[in-house]
Amino acid sequence: MAIYRQIQTSYWQDDFVLNLTPEEKYFYLYLLTNSKTKQCGIYQLPMPIIIVETGYNQETVEKLMRRFIDYGKIIYSPKTREIGILNWPKYNPMESPKTKACVTKELKEVKDRSLIDKIYPIQGVSQKEQEEEKEKEKTAAEEKETPSAPAASIILPENEKDEYDYNCHSINDQSIMLFDRLWNKPNTNPEEYRLVSEYITAYGFNEVEFAFREAVKYNSRKLAYVEAICKKRKGKIAIEKSKEEARQKKLEQDKLLPSQCEAWKKLNLVEMTFGKKEIGSG
């Protein structure tokens, strides 16, 4: 892996970057240049490392990660905790044989092969590499039949022993496993399972999982506490969404031509002087 990453000066004039908040610009730059990045644009990045290197707390990191996934700039594998930078090949072309060899080698080390398909079209992979990929997939399928350590969840927990991939299960199974794995409470009554299933449907699994972990952290393993956390976080998200909409509206207004701005000012002045009724009655 190279000890430096190339960032084009046009980064700061990119239309997408110009519309980001300072916090988002910093985090996006971090995703492109952090200590775990690789030449192929796919790399593992555990949560503790992000927290230490950026100085953000876990909640802020999770929020920013979700934003850039929604923006369509990164993809994330919950099973392997690997991040893929979309459009990476576009800005980091494999111009030299040495670079191409490095990328090919790194791609063979990617654990979640689906990330490669999304960033590097299969047409750009040699026949030999396709055969190697199929062989690895076959090996991985055989390994799945053998019991192994549970995969990581989307949000890295504080305790590695609590890691598990819940995403391939039904909502009902997810609620059961939250009690079992996070609260060590396997013999829960059906009503509690039903309530948690409703929380997952209403707030999303990630939010409910976070609330369960908070309940463990503050020694308050009650469903009322879980629901309160989910409601509070949903309220924060709504406020952030409202602020974002206001910011986007302001950006649109700032894009108006000077003549348009002047026209709006005159219109407002007329309304303030004569009122809306008089304007329409003329």
Residue 84 has pLDDT above 90, yes or no: yes
Residue 274's pLDDT is what? 55
DSSP 83: E
Establish if 160 belongs to a structural domain. no
Q: Taking the mean position of all CA atoms in its chain, how far away is CA 128?
A: 33
- pTM of the complete model: 0.44
Q: Which of 188, 118, 190, 182 is nearest to 153 (CA)?
A: 182
Check whether residue 97 and residue 199 sit in a common domain.
no
Q: Are residues 132 and 26 in the same domain?
A: yes
At residue 139, the 3 state secondary structure works out as helix
Same domain, yes or no: 21 and 128: yes
Q: Within this chain, do residues 18 and 113 fall inside the same structural domain, yes or no?
A: yes
135-165, pLDDT tens digit by residue?
A: 666 666 665 554 443 433 344 334 433 444 4
What's the distance, CA 229 to chain centroid? 20
Which amino acid, residue 51?
I
Q: Assess whether 200 and 250 both reside in one domain.
A: yes
Is 54 inside a domain boundary? Answer: yes
Answer whether 53's CB lies under 8 Å from 30's CB: yes
Alpha-carbon distances of 269 from 19, 197, 257, 258, 276, rounded to whole Å: 30, 55, 18, 16, 11
Q: Which among 99, 114, 144 is the end of a domain?
A: 144
pLDDT tens across 18-50, in order? 999 999 999 999 999 888 989 899 999 888 889
pLDDT of 216 over the 70 cut: yes
For residue range 186-212, list pLDDT tens digits in order.
667 888 888 998 999 999 888 999 999
What CATH number corresponds to the domain at position 127? 1.10.10
Mean pLDDT rounded to a whole number for the chain: 78
pLDDT band at 213 (very low <50, low <70, confident <90, very high): very high
Give the count of domains, the chain: 2
116 plus 202 within the same structural domain: no
pLDDT at 131 over 60: no
State which residues form the domain around 55.
9-144
